[in-house]
Amino acid sequence: MKTKRIIILGATGSIGMNAIDVVRHNRDSFRIVALAAWRNREKCEELAREFGAKAYAGEDAALRAVEENEADICLVATVGMSGLRPTMAAIEKGMDIALATKEVMVMAGELVTKAAARKRVRFLPVDSEHSAIFQCTRVPNTEIDKLILTASGGPFLHGPEDLSKVTVAEALNHPRWKMGPKVTIDSSTMMNKGFEILEARWLFDVGVKDIEVVVHPESIVHSMVTFKDGATLAQLSPPDMRVAIQYALSWPNRLPAEREKLDLAAIGRLTFERPDPVRFPCLRLVKEACEKGGCATAVLAAADEWAVKTFLEGKIGYTDIAKTVEECLEAAPEFACDSLEAVWEANDWTWKHLSR
């Protein structure tokens, strides 16, 4: 495989550090040209020294890292809205996008997928669910009947009954995955799974009504595709994000890796159940935003970003996250979603509305 040049946005985070581990073990296959972080300048510079790459830190670091460097792949692994402009800039420069920051698709899926098609660049999914689907679908999507996204169910799958008293520490205690705080809270409310429905809708061009969620607490089956002939393909691996990250970077090749392989006999049982719509109202909110159309999903993502931040600061309760998003969706004016500026306008409206 020819050595690929890589830019990592969000290098100091959970996905970023896993990606760096993948590169450390495959130095002939990948060369990091630039790393971007936000506040963690020192760690970013230390990593950059290790790889002979350029380091960027600060509010506009991700965008500058893209604008000032050439690469084959840009790994977008920042948080929330911050991934949008750098993703668009990387597409315009002809880089393939290894996408972890799903909010990019939630807020501006149509705009970024159209831009990618125009520039003939690919989205290579990093989310384990979308990587699973990507690995199962080397066929035209006219053959797909439905996508089945698996969900771990997070820390509150069956209890406590009263979610309003949940603390920040409890919500951050994910049973399977070690991730950054925003995506961990989103996983506990299942807003993350809702975002993944929208991400899958744009990545694979499948209607939202044909995307199903099934809870699978063991997190071994990462997602499935059912085809029109009734066959279902699934991708299985231990819950380790490096599998999906490495595949996004090495695609269409697979590189060997010295890590735990699946031992199904040791696991014994894999279980599946339907998500409880009362415990997890965010799944319904995502579908409602989708039906509303325009920039409603951008309002959804912005309201969630505000609500999760405010919950983490201890200023609102856990169940206020879904309530905040619902109230915003009801109050939001209609924004046409035909440009990045329109997406920013929806984002700004939401933050102003919530900070009033």
Please give the size of the binding site for ligand NAP, defined by CB under 6 A.
Answer: 26
DSSP 166: -
Is the peptide bond between 238 and the residue preceding it cis, with omega within 30 degrees of 0? no
Give the separation between CA 9 and CA 47, rounded to whole angstroms: 13
How many whole angstroms separate alpha carbon 148 and alpha carbon 38? Answer: 34
The answer to the question of residue 38 lying near ligand NAP (CB under 6 A) is yes
Return the residue nearest ligand NAP (CB atom): 13
- Site for ligand NAP contains 238 (CB under 6 A): no
Q: Is 14 in the site for ligand NAP (CB under 6 A)?
A: yes
By CB under 6 A, residue 77 contacts ligand NAP: yes
* Calpha distance 82→101 (Å, rounded): 9
DSSP-assigned letters across all residues of 17-78: HHHHHHHHT-TTTEEEEEEE-SS-HHHHHHHHHHHT-EEE-STTHHHHHHHT---SEEEE--
Give least dist CB 158 to ligand NAP, A.
23
Residue 62 found at the interface with ligand NAP (CB under 6 A): yes
Of 41 and 284, which has the nearer Cβ to ligand NAP? Answer: 41
Binding mask 149-188 for ligand NAP (x = CB under 6 A): ----------------------------x-xx--x-----
Q: What is the DSSP letter of 327?
A: H
Q: Which is nearer to ligand NAP, 75 or 91 (CB)?
A: 75
* DSSP H or E stretch at residue 235: strand 232-236
In the complex with ligand NAP, which residue's Cβ is closer, 21 or 327? Answer: 21
Candidate segments 37-45, 147-155, 281-289, 337-345, binder of ligand NAP by CB under 6 A:
37-45
Give the residue from 117, 135, 92 showing the smallest Cα distance to 205. 117
Q: Which of 241, 290, 303, 322 binds ligand NAP (CB under 6 A)?
A: 241
Contacts for 300 with CB less than 8 Å, ≥ 6 apart: 106, 285, 286, 289, 325, 328, 329
Which residues contribute to the site for ligand NAP (CB under 6 A)?
Answer: 10-16, 37-40, 61-62, 77-79, 82, 100-102, 127, 177, 179-180, 183, 241
